[in-house]
Amino acid sequence: MNDILITLLIIIIKLGLIFAVVLTMAAYLVLAERKILARMQLRYGPNRVGPFGMFQPVADLIKMLTKEDVCPAGADKYLFLFAPGLAAVTALMSLAVVPFGPTIEIFGQQVPQVVCDLNIGVLYFLGLSSLAVYGIALGGWASNSKYALLASIRGLAQLISYELSMGLAVVPIIMAARSFSLTDIVMAQESLPFVLIYPETFLIFFVSVAAESKRIPFDLPEAENELVAGFHTEYSGMRFGLFFVGEYINMIILGSMTTIFFLGGWHGPLLPPIFWFLFKVLGVAFVFIWMRGTMPRFRYDQLMHFGWKVLMPIALLDVVVRGGFMVWSLGG
């Protein structure tokens, strides 16, 4: 009985820590993005609230919480209220399988730094990322607005198409690590991160991840200058905030998945593992922000063409070639 209580307590503490850290990280990622983008465009960015604008996220939060929650006329009310929550929850649930560090010992208890090390962790992540589409689709559909509807149709098609190449790009990694468990995949990269062994797979994965994160150059679901604000045009207040935060949490998750699959997870010299992990995740997030500051947006047909006729065949070929090579090198 005591053991069960301790295990339960450890899980609750881990959950609390992860939520606190990730939500703070998401809030400050917004600030970091605004600051970095501003610097790239020779502006200052937010610098009024607190020193260097450090309290800007808090101010934004208060603003969103106090705004009126508008439900447009003719909207499908329940779906409209339900969709933002779905977007945020599917983003947060993926965190359960992310390993932040190796197993450590606290008070004689073996505590792995992951909420739940599923042995189907990769599939869990892929499944949840396919559920993440629902938030956009339903939010846009329920708004009863043509911009939102167009944006959600676009978003649906885009996310479905790029999920395929993302899934295919994970296959060589699974074959190399011989496991679906994310902890095992990180363990397999102890000596050499997979990005050095599988550079082309990394490129495919990174491009699909960028498309999954719905950011420039793939931000067609919310292209401001054609669709007002895309699928969340009609949302206001904290419901918009949930979409917004969900997007940044999604960015952190995709960053951690890139780190786990290709950049060696928590492995690194000198510094403690958790620091290396966060450092790599923030590095990936910085590249996303950098891309936003640099690239123009795709046209919709170019996006579909690129996803289905370029990325997919290359990813398939990569799986076949890498798999064939693996079988050959095993002497099978």
Shortest distance, position 328 Cβ to other proteins, whole Å: 18
Q: d(Cα 27, Cα 248) in Å, to the nearest integer?
A: 8
Q: d(Cα 101, Cα 273) in Å, to the nearest integer?
A: 6
Tokens encoding 265: 């997870």
Shortest distance, position 15 Cβ to other proteins, whole Å: 19
Stretch 180-219 residues interacting with other proteins (CB under 8 A): 180
Q: Is 228 in the site for other proteins (CB under 8 A)?
A: no
Q: Where are the beta strands (DSSP E) in the chain?
A: 101-106, 109-113
Q: Which of residues 133, 210, 216, 220 is near other proteins by CB under 8 A?
A: 133
Q: Is 130 in the site for other proteins (CB under 8 A)?
A: yes
Q: Is 131 in the site for other proteins (CB under 8 A)?
A: yes
Stretch 30-69 residues interacting with other proteins (CB under 8 A): none
Q: Estimate to the nearest angstrom the gap between the alpha carbon of 78 and the chain centroid.
A: 26
Q: d(Cα 101, Cα 126) in Å, to the nearest integer?
A: 21
Residue with token string 């699959």? 261
Q: Is 274 in the site for other proteins (CB under 8 A)?
A: no
Candidates 233, 210, 234; CA nearest to 297 is: 210
Nearer of residues 22 and 133 to other proteins, judged by Cβ:
133
Spatial CB neighbours of 118, under 8 Å, sequence gap ≥ 6:
96, 97, 124, 180, 181
Q: Is 22 in the site for other proteins (CB under 8 A)?
A: no
Stretch 137-156 residues interacting with other proteins (CB under 8 A): 137-138, 141-142, 149, 152-153, 156
Residues that bind other proteins (CB under 8 A): 76, 79, 118-120, 123-124, 126-128, 130-131, 133-134, 137-138, 141-142, 149, 152-153, 156-157, 160, 163, 180
